[in-house]
Amino acid sequence: MSNIVAIVGRPNVGKSTLYNRLTETRKAIVDDYSGVTRDRHYGVAEWTDKHFTVIDTGGYVAHSDDVFEAAIREQVVIAIEEATVILFMVDVVTGITDLDDDIAKLLRRSQKPVFVVVNKVDNNQRLTDASIFYSLGLGEIYPLSSMSGSGTGELLDEVIKHFEPEDEDENQLPKYAIVGRPNVGKSSLINALIGRERNIVTPIAGTTRDSIHIHYNQFGHEFMLIDTAGLRKKTKVKENIEFYSVMRTIKALEEADVVILMIDAVEGIESQDINIFHLAEKNKKGIVILVNKWDLIEKNTKTTSVFEEQIYQKIAPFTDVPIVFTSVVEKQRIYKSLEAASKVYENKLKKIPTSKLNDVMLPIIENFPPPAVKGKYVKIKYVTQINASSPMFAFFCNLPQYVKEPYKRFVENKIRENFDFTGVPIQIFFRQK
Ligand code: GDP
Ligand code: GDP
């Protein structure tokens, strides 16, 4: 199941404002003039219990004038191929521009659901003005104000109707996605695993294809590999290589049970790697980090621990993640990576019996109860692991609203100390008993 909502449109219409609202990361910089470098362009959103990834294409636009229109057009084409739903954002204040017309022409030819989102409809006058956008020939329009949030609910109610059903695919093989920045060694790893050069597929423009799945069954390991490396689309605009690779990565990641995140030992962990890590974490995926090209590093006795420490600092607070130092070219620790992935997969499915959980956790809680709030004491009665596709624990107590984040982290750490959940995000809930 992978649901990607791509926001396309020309600069300054309000794409990143909507993105921030949907993902509730108000951290990204929104500025009055276009050309601002932004840091995060994709994130997880939720509407009526449905999770999806939102991608703000604006973050990938080249800012030199001669290429940006071409870049935007190409992004629309990529979004048509890769996204589940496309939000075409226009601006009621400026009306329809030539570039809007160009984009609309591309979108009219697509098979994917397209929503015309008319932004900056902050008042009733502008609501009347919005009707001009029917002339884009893309059907219904969705007037809203990204700034205030009005109208976004109506839009999302319609958007989620186009999502793929959440299939609880049981009895299926574990799915591992190998992800990482270009050149980190993904193709080399896959080739090493399957023992041959797999075909490098270059999809023909305009054709859609799903990520490639490779069935692996050797040396006691059986799983599906989701390959993002094999697909290399030729893009006319250099900046869109990143956009395309991010799209493929998000798709593979959402499909996977365990994400094998490859990092280049020479370059170290970079912001893109951290973004992918957090996306995997938010999607409750199992995670293994491979530090590849380890052969290129001069080593002494401390090198691995220094590397590990640097990575843990950057990915904190979720640091209970296996790190394997590999050299794909020298075939070092490739099977150890598989062992790590399969252990993480096991951990993701692990269910701790309620009696055992309480035997361990209740004495700990008794020794370190949640701090009292306004003279009121939180009494935790029992804890149970909820039946879900990734570990979730519910602590039943009298006053769940008084339990704050630090205490949740404390119980999570205690669970991790006592039961092996390495590589897997854990969710903790406090509920009324
Ligand atoms: P992007 O380039 O498409 O990502 O556009 P931004 O999100 O950076 O927004 C461009 C400008 O439009 C910023 O100054 C925003 O504050 C403003 N803006 C965004 N949404 C709204 C809205 O709903 N109403 C109004 N009045 N301004 C908005
Ligand atoms: P991808 O873009 O992530 O699929 O990366 P590739 O598998 O195409 O590898 C990019 C380059 O890095 C190629 O020249 C590989 O031979 C090289 N490479 C891959 N793994 C290693 C490694 O462990 N050590 C060294 N020294 N080079 C590697």
HSE toward the beta carbon, residue 429, CA cutoff 13 A: 11
Domains 4-162 and 175-349 alike in fold: yes
Pick the CATH number of 175-349 from 3.40.50.970, 3.40.50.300, 3.40.50.2300, 3.30.420.80: 3.40.50.300
Report whether residue 99 contacts ligand 1, using a CB cutoff of 6 Å.
no
Reading phi first (left if > 0) and then psi (alpha if -120 to 50, else beta), residue 405 is in alpha
* pLDDT attached to residue 242: 75
User: Which ligand has the shortest distance to the CA of 19?
Assistant: 1
Those residues of the chain that have pLDDT short of 70 are 1, 25-40, 59-67, 166-171, 196-212, 229-237
Side-by-side strand order, sheet with 392-397: 380-385, 392-397, 427-432
354-432: CATH topology is: GMP Synthetase; Chain A, domain 3 (3.30.300)
Domain ranges of the chain: 4-162, 175-349, 354-432
Q: What is the pLDDT of residue 1?
A: 56
Residue of minimum CA distance from atom 17 in ligand 1: 14
Q: Does this complex have an ipTM over 0.90? A: no
Residues with CB under 6 A from ligand 2: 180, 182-188, 229, 292-293, 295-296, 327-329
What is the distance between the alpha carbons of residues 84 and 247, in angstroms, rounded to a whole number? Answer: 11
CA distance 161 to 138: 18
pLDDT for position 29: 38
Q: Which helix (H) or strand (E) holds 378?
A: none
What is the distance in A from the centroid of ligand 1 to the CA of 14? 3
- Positive or negative, the CA dihedral 343, 347, 348, 351 is positive
- Output the pLDDT for position 27: 42
Nearest atom in ligand 2 to 188's CA: 7
Q: Are 60 and 245 in contact (CB under 8 A)?
A: no
Q: Which of 372, 365, 378 is nearest to 412 (CA)?
A: 365
What is the pLDDT, as a whole number, of residue 333? 96
pLDDT value at position 165?
73
User: Ligand 1 centre and the CA of 12: distance in Å?
Assistant: 6
Structural contact between residues 192 and 27, judged by C-beta atoms closer than 8 angstroms: no
Q: Which CATH superfamily is domain 4-162 in?
A: P-loop containing nucleotide triphosphate hydrolases (3.40.50.300)
Give the pLDDT of residue 62: 54
Chain mean position to CA 391 = 18
Tell whether ligand 1 has an atom less than 6 A from the beta carbon of residue 13: yes
pLDDT for the residue numbered 190: 87
Distance CA 126, CA 128 (A): 5
User: Which of 8, 16, 17, 27 for a ligand 1 pocket mutation test, highest count of atoms within 8 Å of Cβ?
Assistant: 17
